[in-house]
Amino acid sequence: MSISKSLLRAAKLQEKIDLLRGQLSDLLDQARSEISAGSVEETTIPVRRGRAKMLKSVRGSRKAAVTRPAAPQKPAGRGKSAKVVKTGRRSPLAGHKRATSPSGPLAPAVVKVLQTNKQPMNVRDILDGLLGDGYKFNSAEPKKNLAARIYRLKGVKQVSSGLFGLA
């Protein structure tokens, strides 16, 4: 690339940087005015390394400004996140047990299918074996459920791309 092309490209980048700086300045000014107007509520959000940031969200708007807390906070400890303020949202499964298959756990059923076949199988073949043995899935899409869970099942290992065998 010649020097003139490099200089032209650098000038264009500088223009973009100046434009973005102006937009950032406008957004920060707007956020500061909304904060001073009192139409902002604070919520603590978890951040890695035990530090917390304050998230200030504007009522009636999707815009939000993120600021650092005024006083330094003590880290919550190694590997722990900062305390989170509950916002009133609850899991739809809160207080209920997770549904299990009426035919028992998945891992032993998959191991049984692999033992009967004695050779590596793909997800589709394992699913056919499970359904043939009478295993009942709670999910509407059992193939997706099995494909997502098979990598973590005890007694099962991936022997090659898409093929699974006994561990």
Token representation of residue 4: 């003139």
Tens-place pLDDT, residues 47-70: 555 555 555 555 554 444 455 555
Sign of the alpha-carbon dihedral angle for 155, 156, 157, 159: positive
Specify the higher pLDDT residue, 1 or 26: 26
What residue ranges do the domains of the chain occupy? 3-67, 106-166
Q: What is the pLDDT of residue 4?
A: 85
pLDDT of residue 39: 64
> What pLDDT, on the 0 to 100 scale, is given for residue 103?
80
* In the chain, % of residues over pLDDT 90: 40
Question: What are the tens digits of pLDDT across the range 129-152?
Answer: 999 999 998 889 999 999 999 999
**145: Cα separation from own chain's centroid:** 18
Please answer whether residues 51 and 82 qualify as being in contact, where contact means their C-beta atoms are separated by less than 8 angstroms: yes
pTM metric for this prediction: 0.44
| Top-confidence residue, 93 or 63 | 93
